[in-house]
Structure 1
């Protein structure tokens, strides 16, 4: 089906559904990337071929959806949005699956709204000092510097928000309409979620929250030397989710690093970091079909 949108918490959320029959999988990518980011659709289609329907969505501040600014962290905002999306579309309870930031969003949604989730699949889980530090500095600090320096007009000129405006022109007014002081307070709170703390294996989430995940869970662990999605974090999460299953990555141990190198040297002309994700389809389908 083509793109559709639905209003959630005062903003439009763009989504699409692939497949005609089968249980629903809500599939979430990482970063502030849209559902159309290269690498995600091949995985979605492979899951459809395996007998499932897949819900793809542009999270707030991603793709063509409206920007939104509220919540304890950006992942908390997205979890609330996904809960409303699943409920309004009447596709739940369903399977949640996601990689990188999408893994965190999916885990948090399962923690906060366990009644909506039947199974959980996550990979490329972000954690550790470096991984968390990079996310905070990349996604939050530029907006803090901009709003402190020249208000919301400067925020709207940041490259990442310019991309959101290019995909959805209404976002310019939504950004400019924010109260600068309230926006700064929110950004500082969002930044705090990415500060590594004892008792928080994943950014902004207390370890005790993992006790709320009781559904069958598959974890595809991070690569051996992946600083962004550490192997250690995946192993710790597997300890925190009782009864979870953890498997080695179906892609090479250094897949993330090699993709980053190609991107940095200009050997690829498009985003390539999720290209290996389709390789996860067989183990995911094996897990879901059991």
Structure 2
């Protein structure tokens, strides 16, 4: 199925569906990467070969979708978007799966819209002081500095937003139309989500929200020395989601570190961060195929 788009909360969301029959899986990558990031579709195709249909989507501020700025955090905004996407496409309740930032988006969607989810699969869960601090500095601070220095037009010089405009020219006017003061309020709220706080195992989410996750859940543990997706965070999430299953990563313990080295050596041009994800397909299918 080719790319399609649907308007949700005033912005177009680009999506595609792989597979012709079987239960639906909404699959979400990490960061602000698009559904076309290398490494994601090989996993999706393995899941399709296992008898499922897979929804891939460009979240707001990712790929070819429109930029949008609202909500308690960026992940809360994505969760609201995914819930509406599942509802509008009439594919729910369905399985929700994701890694890294996509794991957080998937967990928040399940917490806020439990009626839309049948099973949950997450891996590379971000947490800890370092992992949260890095995300806030990488995704939020550059935009705040740009607007404080140059007004809204400063966003047009931020590399990430330049990429969004290149992939979707409509985003140029959407950015220009933003109110600087309101934008900064949203950015400070989103930044605050990444400030590590007692009682928040994952950024911006009170631990008691995990009580809302009652569906069968598979957690693939973070690597032994992965600072971005700490092993400790996976273990804590396993404790917080009652009855969840925790398994060791099917890729090498240092897979994320080695991928990060290759990514850095390429100047950020070789997207190898998610290449190992396809190795999780057998474990995911085994979990999903159980009654």
User: What TM-score comes out, normalization by structure 2 length?
Assistant: 0.99
Equivalent in the alignment of 1:207: 207
Q: 2:27 is paired with a residue of what secondary structure?
A: strand
How far the C-alpha of 1:267 sits from its partner, in A, is 9.6
CA deviation vs aligned residue, 1:63-114 (integer Å, no higher than 9, x gap) = 0000001000000000000000000000000000000000000000000000
Residue correspondence of structure 1 range 108-147 to structure 2 within 5 A:
108-147=108-147
Q: 1:14 is paired with a residue of what secondary structure?
A: strand
Q: 1:25 is paired with a residue of what secondary structure?
A: strand
Equivalent in the alignment of 1:106: 106
| Separation of aligned partners in 2, 1:79 and 1:148 | 28
Question: Given the superposition, is the C-alpha separation of residues 268 and 146 from structure 1 closer, same or farther in structure 2, using an over 3 Å criterion?
Answer: closer
Q: 1:33 is paired with a residue of what secondary structure?
A: coil
Q: 1:276 is paired with a residue of what secondary structure?
A: helix
| Separation of aligned partners in 2, 1:269 and 1:239 | 37
CA deviation vs aligned residue, 1:220-245 (integer Å, no higher than 9, x gap) = 01000000000000000000000000
| Separation of aligned partners in 2, 1:270 and 1:256 | 14
Question: Given the superposition, is the C-alpha separation of residues 12 and 217 from structure 1 closer, same or farther in structure 2, using an over 3 Å criterion?
Answer: same
Whether the aligned pair in 1 keeps the contact of 2:262 and 2:270 (CA below 8 Å) is no
Q: How many residues align?
A: 290
CA deviation vs aligned residue, 1:212-270 (integer Å, no higher than 9, x gap) = 00000000010000000000000000000000000000000000001111222239952
Stretches of structure 2 that go unaligned for 5 or more consecutive residues are: none
Equivalent in the alignment of 2:189: 189
Residue correspondence of structure 1 range 10-25 to structure 2 within 5 A:
10-25=10-25
| Separation of aligned partners in 1, 2:280 and 2:120 | 14
Stretches of structure 1 that go unaligned for 5 or more consecutive residues are: none
CA deviation vs aligned residue, 1:6-45 (integer Å, no higher than 9, x gap) = 0000000000000000000000000000000000000000
Equivalent in the alignment of 1:161: 161
Q: 1:13 is paired with a residue of what secondary structure?
A: strand
User: What TM-score comes out, normalization by structure 1 length?
Assistant: 0.99
| Separation of aligned partners in 2, 1:283 and 1:87 | 28
How far the C-alpha of 1:164 sits from its partner, in A, is 0.3
| Separation of aligned partners in 1, 2:58 and 2:103 | 15
- Please give the root-mean-square deviation of Cα atoms over the aligned residues, in Å: 0.9
How far the C-alpha of 1:157 sits from its partner, in A, is 1.3
Does 1:43 pair with 2:43? Answer: yes
Whether the aligned pair in 1 keeps the contact of 2:133 and 2:194 (CA below 8 Å) is yes
